[in-house]
Amino acid sequence: MAEVIPVILSGGAGTRLWPLSRELMPKQLLRLAGAGTLLQDTAQRLGLPPVVVCNQEHRFIVAEQLREVGMEPRAVVIEPVGRNTAPAAAVAALMLERSAPGSLMLLMPSDHLVADPDAFRRAVDMAVPLAEQGRLVTFGVHPTGPNTGYGYIRRGKALANGYEVAAFSEKPDLATAERYVASGEYYWNAGIFLMPAALYLAELEARLPDMVAACREALDRGRNDLFFFRLDDQSFASIAGQSIDYAVMEHADNVAVIPVEMGWSDIGSWSALWQESAKDADSNVIKGDVLAIGSSNCYLQSQDHLVAAVGLKDLIVIATDDAVLVADKAHDQEVKAVVEALRREGRAEATQGTRGWRPWGWFQTIEQGDRFKVKHIHVEPGGKLSLQKHWHRSEHWVVVKGTALVTCGDRVFPLRENESTFIAAGTAHRLENPGKVPLRLIEVQSGEYVGEDDIVRLEDVYGRGSP
């Protein structure tokens, strides 16, 4: 039997779940429906080492989340820019043709929920013979209702383990969706595919040869960077992006569908997440410090302060430490428009929260004003910030947990709990955690400019340059 290799596509931004999901910390990296993140759940679904394709900003978080669940990836490929799913899949297929010729590529989005992974694995087993026979196999989810947020697949002639695909349909209006479901011939398009890597490349090259050539060039000119593989910036950026559906699946004549009931959702909206979450007696989903009185059918979440909800019905209320969303569940698809408006206004809330993730841990801005900023810094055991300096700000560090190893100019010294030190502007400095427990400290910045881009990296173990 041909080797099945999971390929996880992790380039999405998840803007419909704002303000929890943001461009720099999208939904696949969040714990939304269980103990693990959606990415972690996807990586463990088949129990095999995956190839992960992600963007540059997420690379260290992706690597850390895979490490947390003991998953050693075959490769983590960094896209310099997003170009949709067809090029990402092509790069993965090219890599597999070189490292595992004859293998079957299982393409999976990183941000979907599968409540019954055993059913998913059984469906993959059923799909393998069809893929080995030279078919592009997709997985069709039995619809539980006339959902207008999903694409649909109409089945055709019966095959040994599934059906030929008669047609793909875009997201329909409600009347059309109702007709699809009533017919019994349609499935939701889960965007999960199993196919020979070589066959996908052949089908793509027959229609978009320039895309395949550019992907091959991006791979050939790429380079290893720590435990990542970086595609060549210029080659990959030249590609006109397309989805796998548009580029290949909707045009090929050798497509099969395996029907499956696996508790699937793309978690594409707050209503979808409400639907998939545990509810109280009033059908509310409550997370965090929330008090609900006389409210029903709501999704209520607070990451910071107390949220009190009185007499609410069918609403979404999401409170983070820097933004609050209040939306009618019937209009939750329009949350994306909020993000677009924030981007037009140049608001940082569109893309990032107050917590910034780094390969050594994270920092969170507690307060910021004219000529000052206060941060909470968390450094994982063994983590080491870059040797750096700032031209426009000085810093005070106070350790509140753990032990720090501080470099300040030509001095290297430990800094323990309740001890502090001062870093003058222009002084080369570094913070390390030599201990076995997380290091936490409060950093107070002061100066004429306290932006994150006031940093000159002199040395960095993670291969990062200055912004």
Q: Which band of pLDDT confidence, cut at 50, 70 and 90, is reported for residue 64?
A: very high
Would the pLDDT of 221 be above 90?
Answer: yes
Query: Quick check: 191 pLDDT over 80?
Result: yes
Query: 153 and 187 in contact (C-beta within 8 Å)?
Result: yes
Helices 209-220 and 197-207, axial angle in degrees (round to 10): 120
CB 341 within 8 A of CB 12: no
SS (H, E, C) 116-160: CHHHHHHHHHHHHHHHHCCCEEEEEECCCCCCCCCCEEEEEEECC
pLDDT at 269: 93
* pLDDT given at position 198: 97
Q: State how far the Cα of 368 lies from the Cα of 445, in Å rounded to an integer.
A: 9
152 and 186 Cβ atoms separated by less than 8 Å:
yes
Q: What is the pLDDT, as a whole number, of residue 13?
A: 77
Residue 227: pLDDT band (50, 70, 90) is: confident
CB atoms within 10 A of CB 405: 16
pLDDT value, residue 226: 86
316 SS3 class: strand
How far, in Å, CA of 425 to CA of 438, rounded?
A: 27
Tell me what the mean pLDDT of segment 348-354 comes to.
Answer: 91
Distance CA 360, CA 461 (A): 10
Mean pLDDT of 337-358: 93
Distance CA 303, CA 321 (A): 7
What domains are there in the chain, each with its CATH number? Answer: 4-265 (3.90.550.10), 272-344 (no CATH), 355-459 (2.60.120.10)
pLDDT in tens, 240-273: 999 999 999 999 999 999 999 999 999 999 999 9
Return the pLDDT at 308: 98
pLDDT at 363: 95
Per-residue confidence band for 14, with pLDDT thresholds at 50, 70 and 90: confident
**Average pLDDT value over all residues in the chain:** 95
Query: What torsion, rounded to 10 degrees, do the Cα atoms 301, 306, 310, 315 define?
Result: -20
- CB proximity list for 4: less than 8 A, separation 6 or greater: 46, 48, 103, 104, 106, 124, 128, 194
- 224, with CB counted inside 10 A (0-12, 13-18, 19+), is exposed
Give the percent of the chain with pLDDT over 70: 100
Residue 34 has pLDDT above 90, yes or no: no
pLDDT band at 441 (very low <50, low <70, confident <90, very high): very high
